[in-house]
Amino acid sequence: MKRSLKLTGIAALTAMLLVPSLGFSSPGADAPQFGTEGEGEEKRFVVTFRSDSLPADVEEMILEAGGEVTYEVDQIGVLEASTEEPLDFLKAITSERSVLSVAPSMEVELDLPEFDFEIEGYLGGDNPGVLDPAESIWESGWQWDIEQVTQNGASHDVHSGTHDVVVGVIDTGFDFDHPDLRDNIVGGPEGSRTFVPGTEDSWDNQSHGTHVAGTIAGNGRMKGVAPDVGLKSYRVFNTGGAQQIWITDAIIAAADDGVDVINMSLGGTRVKGQWFYTDPATGERVRLGNNQAADVVAYKRAIDYAVERNVTVVSSAGNSAQDMSNPRRVAEWIEGNAGPEYEVRGAAWFVPASIPGVITVSAMGGGFDTDDRLAFYSNYGNGAIDLGAPGGDLGPEGYEGADDFKFLVLSTVPTYMDGQSARGKNVFGENGYGWKGGTSMAAPQVSGAAAAYISQVYAETGSKPTPRQVQNRLQQSAERVDSPGYSRYYGHGRVDAYQALTR
């Protein structure tokens, strides 16, 4: 049964459903479509203005158009508005000279079914074995991914980071009491933020964010790539969905807080082109602004805002096994799933991965004396991938061991979640550790290497390198995998923290 997950060329939707990684899920036949909760009910739209700030009379403008402001990101001139009369609202708001474009507000859904493993009797292969709770996971050999990226911990000995450098993790939150994380979380729970309406803190109710944080800066029984850098959580997911504008706002907030690296182990598709809305009742068609789709504009402005403030932004490439250099296929997917009211013209991007200024990371399998390989779910494409990093899979083709989960990525999970820790507790004797796979697990490997390099430069010179300098360093020092030059699968190669610190 598990071997069926090893199929190559797997369809995008199937890959998304099988990989325990954060992503924008595909709309199902019975699911609400983009910005839509059903005919005659409230619909939400992202509105971008020509200026990088919101007009002083913006609330009155939206009200007069027949809408209501539900969320503002003033720093980049973006808001979300709701309306029960979409045709009238869109006709009115797109006629405003200050408005650049409009797009349906797309919900981002958390779609994370686990791989199907038996908890008992799965240690029949060649693996490091069961540990006592007092034993080091890092020293045992279970962390093949961190071993690859750090050259068996050699980079830790060169420079493991300091809290002068902070990684902001835009995700599901943290377990702030996790013994391998708490000393590196700058400001504790109060120093992190939530953007999920109805919540007041950034505690992790899902496990994804805690897992990402451990890969970056775990420092206890397990080790991250940069085990002494600082961490902050920017929670945009609870256990379900999020609006894109929350993620956009989190990017701005992290930049304003002065983080040095933003990790976004999330992604989806957006239109780089034109949206149209057709009223179901009358057939009247409205063009939603110019050819700069509002949602892509919002992402680009947010990334630019962060980069201008010297923040290195890292994103996962996505888990749909698609060629990112062929956006026409992605646009066809959006048009086929956006619902009868919407039509798109132009190409589609994977975002935030395809936004200029982002370091985009594909996922690799490997470890335990097996060869490097592109993970079966990972997106790829000429010019689309900057670096590869371990993201995990179920082992090389033909591997039938009962311990194939070891080829996934091991990291921290919330200690208060028995279900997330069940497999880890069986092996390590306590809650707080678990395996996941996805480009979500690859991105933090690069974020950790970036943070270690920034910290080293700052310690030696008193100043921090620019995002472009960080990206160049990581690319120039990467381990070439399948070719001496650029690879459509791994970009400039597998990230190598040791070479980044010593070359």
The H helix count followed by the E strand count for the chain is: 14, 19
Is 201 one of the catalytic residues? no
Residues in the chain: 503
Cα–Cα distances (Å) from 143 to 195, 229, 446, in that order, read: 32, 19, 16
Calpha distance 439→454 (Å, rounded): 23
* Candidates 440, 447, 455, 487; catalytic one: 440
Q: Minimal CA–CA distance to 228: which of 459, 495, 409? A: 459
Residue 227 preceded by cis peptide, ω within 30: no
Q: Minimal CA–CA distance to 387: which of 292, 497, 300? A: 497
Do residues 501 and 474 lie in contact, with contact meaning Cβ atoms separated by under 8 Å? no
Do residues 223 and 136 lie in contact, with contact meaning Cβ atoms separated by under 8 Å? no
* Candidates 156, 178, 208, 211; catalytic one: 208
Is 440 one of the catalytic residues? yes
Calpha distance 436→496 (Å, rounded): 21
Do residues 318 and 350 lie in contact, with contact meaning Cβ atoms separated by under 8 Å? yes
Residue 315 makes CB contacts below 8 A (sequence gap 6+) with 264, 265, 266, 267, 352, 353, 355, 358, 359, 360, 361, 443
Calpha distance 190→195 (Å, rounded): 14
* Candidates 171, 228, 249, 403; catalytic one: 171
Do residues 215 and 413 lie in contact, with contact meaning Cβ atoms separated by under 8 Å? no
The rounded Cα 112 to chain-centroid distance in angstroms is 13
List the beta strands (DSSP E) in 172-281.
Answer: 193-194, 230-235, 242-243, 261-264, 268-278
Tokens 């000429």 -> residue: 382
Q: Cα-Cα-Cα-Cα dihedral of 183, 184, 188, 191, to 10°?
A: 160
**DSSP assignment of 395-464:** -STT---TTGGGGSEEEE--TT-HHHHHHHHHHHSSSSEEEE-SHHHHHHHHHHHHHHHHHHHHHHHSS-
Is 178 one of the catalytic residues? no
Calpha distance 133→426 (Å, rounded): 11
| Catalytic positions | 171, 208, 440
